[in-house]
Every structure is written in C-alpha cells, then in structure tokens.
Structure 1
Amino acid sequence: MTGNLEQTELRLGFIPLNDAAPLIAGKALGLFADEGLDVTLAREVSWANVRDKVAVGLLDGAHMLGPMPIAATLGLSGPATPMIAPFSLNLNGSAITVSRALAQAMRAADPAGMARRPRAARPLRAVIEARRAAGEPPLTFAVVFPFSMHNYELRYWLAEAGVDPDRDVRLVITPPPRMAQRLASGEIDGFCVTAPWNALAVAEGSGEIVTYASEIWRVGPDKVLGVTAEWAERRPNTLQALLRALLRAAAWCDAPANRSELGAILAGPDYLDAPVDVVRPSLVGSPPYSPDEPGEASLDYVIYHRYAASFPWRSHAVWFLTQMLRWGQIGPQVDIAAVAESVYRPDLFRPAAAAVGQAAPLVEEKVEGAHAEPWTLDEATSPIRMAPDLFFDGRRFDAAQPQRYAAGFEIGRMG
C-alpha cells in the first residue's frame, strides 16, 4: 500500500497521557508499518510545543487537545495557522483532583454533597466562601492549556455550583506530568488533567479525585489528531493511510482483553514513563468505576473506539466554540458553524472507515445531552450503538443553535 503515498516517514507528537494510546498502539503494534508508514513518535513537554511544532512543520501531526486546532486556526494564541481534526482519539479520560486537605475540608463543609454522585462543586463553594470570610487567599487550580476540554469542564463544573472561575479561584497552566508534583508541594490546590496523572496523585497520597469527566458529560470529547490544513491537502493518501492505522489501533485499545497489555505499553519509558501499577488501573478509573472488574461501564472512563468515539463530530467543535464564547476567548462575530466545518473533517474520516470495514456516521452533528439510556445511531453506514450522553446539570446542546446555548449561560459568567 506504499506506492501512492506522498510521504512515508512521519513524525507525530504526543503528550504523555492515556489518550495518546491510539498513536502509541499504532506504533507498538506495527499498524502504521502495515500501511507503509514509518512513524516516529516524539514525546513533547507541553501543549504549546505541540501546537508550535505542528504549525512550523517540525511535526507532521500530533495528539492534540480537541479545541487546539480551532484555536490555532483562529489565531487565538500565536499566528493563525489553519489546522484540521480528521480523527478523534478518545472520549472522556480526565478528572478533577484536589489535595487531600481540600477534600477533607469539602467533606466537613458539605458531607451530603460529597456523598452524592455525580458530585457537584457545591462542597467546594462552601469552602471557598468560608475562606473568603476568613480573609484567606483564593484556591489555585491548574489546567493543561487555555484551549482545552480540561479548562472548559473545570469551569463548567465550578460555574454550575455558583463558583466564578475567573473571580473565586485562581487558574494556572501546568503541563500534565507536573500536576501531581505541584499538588504534593502545595503550589496548587487542585487540577483537571487526563489520566494517569490523577491516579498518580491518589497513589502517592497527595490527592483525591472528586469527579470524573464522564460524570460531568457522560461521553464528552477530549483529544484529536491534528494536522495543518496545508499538510492534509498535499498528502491526501498519506493522511488516509494514517487514519486507517489509527482506526485499527483505536479498536484494539478499546477491547477489554487488551487493556492490561495497553497499560504495560503506555507505561513504558518511551511513552508515559510512569508506574505500570498506576497506568493500568487508570485505564478504568477508580470508584465509582471498578478496576478489579473492568466491564463495559468501567471502560467508559476512557473510550477509544466504541460509540463512534473516533468520529470528529462537528457538534463537539461547536460546543468547544460556545465555551470559548462563554469565557471571552472569542467574540460574537466569529462564525461558529463555519469554523467548525473548516476544522473538524468527517469527510476525511469516512473513506478511511470504509476502507477498514468500520461503520461511520452519515451526519456531522448530533444533539448532546439527549439520551439517558443507550441508543442506536441509524444515520450511519451501518447502525452504531451509542452510549448515554447526559450532562450532569441536565442541559441539552443543539449545535444548530450555538449562540442561544451560549447565551443561556450569560456569556462570560456563570449559568
């Protein structure tokens, strides 16, 4: 399959996180090689590095935060560089962790709230109000990048409880592998990051996971494959080969029988360089998930392939853009639908899925938060089993009405 490839040697960047798994498995299992691709994976130290290296061509593509290609295209941080996301690497996989001391304070302030699932931020609000009354400084929370699901889900969770993330707490940026260290040292009081770094803080005794992304939004987006639009236009056959390999890799990663082996691969020194006894359980989370019995429910902690997880839904892109609007990162003049259409590219995904015999949605958007039970997507090349997709606050998101949705939160402030 190498004869029509415009480029066979690729350098792809990643950040050491569990959701880089399709890239890492594609390399480790020889799936890229099966497509005639000689892929080098480059472990990067920060998301800004990833963005900049893809933009200038030092990387051919990368594991990226879902909103990152959108932000790069709009020039929200650095020069505008049109990028696309033709593949979603995962759903879910992140969590909000706080220090043991803060968790104890939250439990003392609101024991009923801490016992409830899904857990809202009301116990945290009680602590924040008590600290303010005592004249203490605001709590500090870390996120991985301004344009990230982690930033938006932390803000969403805080704001639902009446905590203003721009006034009531201090938000800072920290690379994922440094989160547990900064929490243990007392530099930060909590963070939102993708596994395994939440699990590491728990294992080391410095942190407690207070809520999972999959409790805030049952099947929320997270990471994507990002490449520049120019790279994709000049190398269409190479891109299709890369997508075919990633589709096979994602399916392998999602199989329950492979999760243990996947944990061992990810933990390796070339990838996450983390303890395997932390990485393996972090692929299924911890209570309310059961690492000892990794059935389908616990595997939903991070999803690589099931429920059309690999499909670059434009409704996800539109949701990201509404959060950018809500928190003042873009203005109302941005054409949300047009930007989403230019960046998230299901038209490039479908030929690859057909080539490997996998089903693909025939629609680009779906209403998010509308299903309390498993359901079937019939608007697809063959029916696709889908998961419940509720938001913890009961809202629904219709990508056809993004401005109305964002306005419902009182843009830039809390809902």
Structure 2
Amino acid sequence: MAYRKDLKDSYSPLLFLASLGAGGAMVSMYMFLMFMVPHKGRPLAIYDDWLAAFSTGHVAYKIMIPIVLLGILVFAYIHVRTLIWNIVEYRKFRASVAYDGFVKSNNGIQLMAIPLTLAMTMNGGFIAGATFVPGLWSLSEYLLPAALVGFGIIGYFALKIFSNFMVNALVHGHFDCERNNSLAQMLSVFSLAMVGVGFSAAAAMSHIKATSAVGYIGASFFFAAVIIFGTIKLVLGFRSMMSNGVNQETTPTLWIVIPILTVLGIGLFRMTKGLEHNFGAHVEPASLFALLTSLMAIQAVFGLIGYAIMKKVGYFERFVSGPDKSPGSLALICPGIAAVVMANFFINWGLVGTEVVGKFSIAYFILYLPVIWLQIKTYLVMFKLLSKLLLEDKDAHIAGAASAS
C-alpha cells in the first residue's frame, strides 16, 4: 500500500515520530554488534569487526550477524522513507490555514519532533556508515568535526523553535495550563537531549583534544537545558494531571521520560569516556554501574506508572488494537526502544564491567531474554502503528491530529 498523501490540515508533526522510531530500531539492532562483536581499540564495532567475527565460522556469529545487518538495513530504509514523507506533508501543512493557530497553541511544541528526528538521522547515519562502509572509520577524525557542525545546525533549529514557543508563552501568556494534562511538552526536552547525545559522540570518539572538547561543551550545554526545562515541564505536567485528570489520548507521553533518560545516560557515559581518553580522568566501573542503575530505576518507575494509567483508561485497546487513530500513539515506540538500548548498556557496562556477570555466560544470556522479548514486542507495535497511521486507507481519518497539549 502507498503512503497517505495531502493530509494538509489533518497532518500532525507527531508523525515524525514514525521516522524517529525506525531510526531508534536501527540503533537497537546495532547493539548486538556493539556489545557482542569484538572491536578492540575502537569505541564501536565497524565493518571490519563484524566481518572478522563472521569469518571465524562460529555458528552464533553466522546466525546473529546476518539478522542484525538485515534489521539495520530494513529500519534504515523505513527511517529515510518516512522522513521524506513527513517533510513533504509538513511543507503542505505549513502552507495551510490551520498552521498559524497550531503554532500559537500548546500543540506548537510538536514542531520539536522535527529536529529530534533529524538528530536521530545523524546518529543513525553514523552507525550505518560505520557498519556497512569499509574503511570509513579511518576518516573518523574528519567526520566527527563535520558531525559537530551538523548537530550545531540542528541544535540551532531546535533552540529557535523552542525559544519562540517559550517566549510567546511567557510574553503573551497563551499557554493553556489546564490542557497541559500530560507530558507532551517533554517532547521539546527529548529533542534537546538527542542533539546533546550527538555532540557527546565526538567527545568520546575523537582523540583530538579540540574536537573532544567542543563535543563535551556542546553536550554539556544541551544536557543543562534538558535538566532545567525537563524539571519545569515535568512539574507542570503532573500539576495539571493531578488537577484535571490525564488527557487519555496523550497518556503515552508518560513514558517519554524513558527515552530522555536513555539518551542522557548514553551522553553522560560518552562524556566520561572522553575525559578518560583525552584529559587523563579515570572512571571506575562502579561509577558507571551506579549511574546506569539509577537511571534504569527511574525508567522503571515511569514505566510502571505509565502502564498502569494506560491500562486504566483502555489506551491500548482503543489506539493500538482498536479502530481509533492518533499520531500520539507513535510515542509508544521510543520508550520500548530506549529501554532495550539502556538494558544493553546496563548488562555490558554495568554488570559485566563490574564482574557481577561474566561475558557470554549463561546468566548473561538469561538477562538478554526479556530484553529481546521487549525488542520484538516494540517492533511489532511499531509496524502496526505505521500501517495504521501512514499507509493509504480511503475510509480512515486520523482523529485528534493536534493531540499534544
């Protein structure tokens, strides 16, 4: 089936989350190469590493590597395809009469989904390039400064959208706190965090001090914004929900803290590695264990609260399995993907790094069972929502396009 066309007034920038989710799925597939394929002397597994592992003839690598590579290619295609579709439809929406009113409402924050997705494109593109392009890593010290420029441009775009929204809200007071009964406003924080983690890659991977320092400074700036505005928007959202009850259509936003913490955790991890590689700092495995455990504990709390509320209001039966359509349902994808990625870091850097669990031991693979289950479950939900919201259906209409309040 073809993708839907000419949505115009019924379009929502939240549909960019379809592309974002596919990009995240690509990263989650790469985690198997990252942590199970040897890549001594490099911070990530590249083309040469998986090829060498596959050539050893070990049956596990013979099975795993082709599946992972195929998964990365499939999700990369979906990411790019849905990104192009969204850009085309967004341009039509921007020319519509509904756009001005949309930007001035609470829903205007949905525009932050655009730089969020573009930052994911940069992060995913780097992974795909390292995985499939022979010899690309040898150019890393040239590519990382270019990536800093790219993230700088995306970051400027994100800050411009965010500052315009905040200035208009604070100067004109148009922000409707009564309708802010969800965590939809945290989308802006997620976007800033994704830019920050992009900067942190250069901080960790470059062995040129200047490049690493610029990456560290850029990541610090955006993570500072994440902490400040994340706290503000979290309090405002829960204040409104406690007073007015949760907006049933936007209950998936209760899980948005999960991907924010994953991105923040990876960024902080990278920044510590950058300090270790380039500035003489020493990072104890116990410190990484404490950081990752704390972040996963917070994720678990929000995961349980969000699930309980969504079950109570019948969200899954209505917007996932049922007939109702909402672009906001795409917000279900990123938390699952983010939990999978964080679990990979926790198992390998948290438990294996502190020698609590042995690498490739029975306990190691048992720990991966729920992770793989969640990964598959999230992929199935993603494919269902992509089919439901993006593919052509002449008899369907997306309800509640302006769902973030």
TM-score of the superposed pair, with normalisation by structure 1: 0.28
Q: Which has the higher helix share?
A: 2
* Higher strand content, 1 or 2: 1
TM-score, L = length of structure 2: 0.29
